[in-house]
Amino acid sequence: MSPARIRIAPSLLAADFARLGEEARAVAAAGADWLHLDIMDGHFVPNISYGPVVVAALRQHCAIPFDVHLMIAPADPYLEGFAKAGADLISVHPEAGPHLHRTLQTIRGLGKRAGVVLNPATSVAAVENVLDLCDLILVMSVNPGFGGQSFLDSQLPKIAALRRMIDQSGREIALQVDGGVTAATAPRCIAAGADVLVAGTAVFGAPDYAAAIAALRGEGGGR
Ligand code: DX5
Ligand code: ZN
């Protein structure tokens, strides 16, 4: 088990899209560690969100790390655009391109931290041979594309297996969970070994962002 402090990355997908800058500032002020930005192309996933222009505009509003989750295929032609827009971490799905190793090399070559995202049906084997290029592994606990879905308990053993793999590697790799994370499901993710929790609805759907973030971390009177 990692003794690391649990970091919370609110997903802006559940924010008020007419007030994105204000929403980004509000979660940063409420104690968010990273801002999770879901990029969807209507092709790799059946939904469209926003692109690098919006990420760049948000950069003016908040200083916490931008955690960019690319749900686009191909991803390679857009990596530089997201790096220039202000991403700090860029995560890709192995299914989004033919050469995951090269994609991770490109992200790191742009001076950014690189992540690999595992869909619910994707095995840990998809990442085990590129651990040396990983700064983050993201376990999807829903099928990507939409916020507000129910957490898939079937992904907990995968989180535990990745925790073992990361600890054995001796590398500092964040283990992130995304989808259906709430104050009720967060403790299961943390117990399995996750150290970064993405939450959209559980933060932006709450009346008090700071209380919601503290509850996800297991602090401050949350469930
Ligand atoms: C889904 C996205 C998630 C989503 C999570 O494809 O990757 O980041 O915003 O939303 P909640 O927390 O509402 O499940
Ligand atoms: Zn996401």
Q: What is the pLDDT of residues 7-22, one digit of tens each?
A: 999 999 999 999 999 9
pLDDT number for residue 82: 99
- Region 183-202: mean pLDDT is 98
pLDDT tens digits for range 77-131? 999 999 999 999 999 999 999 999 999 999 999 999 999 999 999 999 999 999 9
Residue type, 50: Y
Q: Is residue 200 part of a domain?
A: yes
Please name the residues in contact with 170: beta carbons below 8 A apart, sequence gap of 6 or more: none
pLDDT of residue 219: 87
Domains in the chain, number: 1
Q: Is residue 156 part of a domain?
A: yes
Convert 185-197 to b/e letters by CB count within 10 Å (16 or more is b).
bbebbbebbbbbb
Q: Is residue 104 domain-resident?
A: yes
- Measured in Å, residue 85 CA sits from the centre of ligand 2 at 18
Which protein residues touch ligand 1 with a CB less than 6 Å away? 11, 13-14, 36, 38, 69, 142, 144-149, 178-181, 198-202
- Does the residue 78 lie in any domain? yes
Could you tell me where the beta strands, DSSP code E, fall in 78-209? 89-92, 113-118, 136-140, 174-178, 196-199
φ, ψ dihedrals at 197, nearest 5°:
-115, 125
Note the pLDDT tens digit of each residue in 133-185. Answer: 999 999 999 999 999 999 999 999 999 999 999 999 999 999 999 999 999 99
Query: Which protein residues have a CB closer than 5 Å to ligand 2 (ion)?
Result: 38, 69, 178
Chain centroid, CA 142 distance in Å: 12
Relative to the CA of 47, which ligand 1 atom is closest?
6
Question: Which are the catalytic amino acids?
Answer: 38, 178
How far apart, in Å, are the Cα atoms of 57 and each of 13, 54, 148? 15, 5, 25
**Do 195 and 2 contact (CB within 8 A), yes or no?**
yes
64, 31 Cβ separation under 8 angstroms: no
Of ligand 1's atoms, which has the minimum distance to the CA of residue 143? 6
Query: Whose C-alpha lies nearest to ligand 1, atom 7?
Result: 144
Q: With beta carbons less than 8 A apart as the criterion, state whether 203 and 20 touch.
A: no
Does residue 222 surpass a pLDDT of 90? no
222 inside domain: no
Q: Is residue 141 part of a domain?
A: yes
> How confident is the model at residue 3, as a pLDDT?
52
Domain containing 69 equals: 3-217
Q: Residue 12: which CATH number?
A: 3.20.20.70
**The two three-digit tokens of residue 122, written as one number:** 């994707």
3-state secondary structure of 185: coil
Q: Which residues of 15-32 are buried (b: 16+ CB within 10 A; e: fewer)?
A: beeeebeebbbbbbebbb
Residue 194 lies in a domain: yes
Contact present, 119 and 142 (Cβ < 8 Å): no
Q: Reply yes or no on whether the pLDDT at 223 is more than 50.
A: no
CA atoms within 13 A on the CB side of 163: 20
Pocket mutation for ligand 1, best pick of 8, 11, 176 (most atoms within 8 Å of C-beta): 11
Comparing CA positions, the residue from 201, 175, 199, 194 lying closest to residue 36 is: 199
State pTM to two decimals: 0.97
Is residue 206 a part of any domain in this protein?
yes
Comparing C-alpha atoms, which of 176, 198, 169 is closest to residue 10? 198
Instruction: Please state, in angstroms and rounded to a whole number, the distance separating the CA atoms of residues 71 and 45.
Output: 6
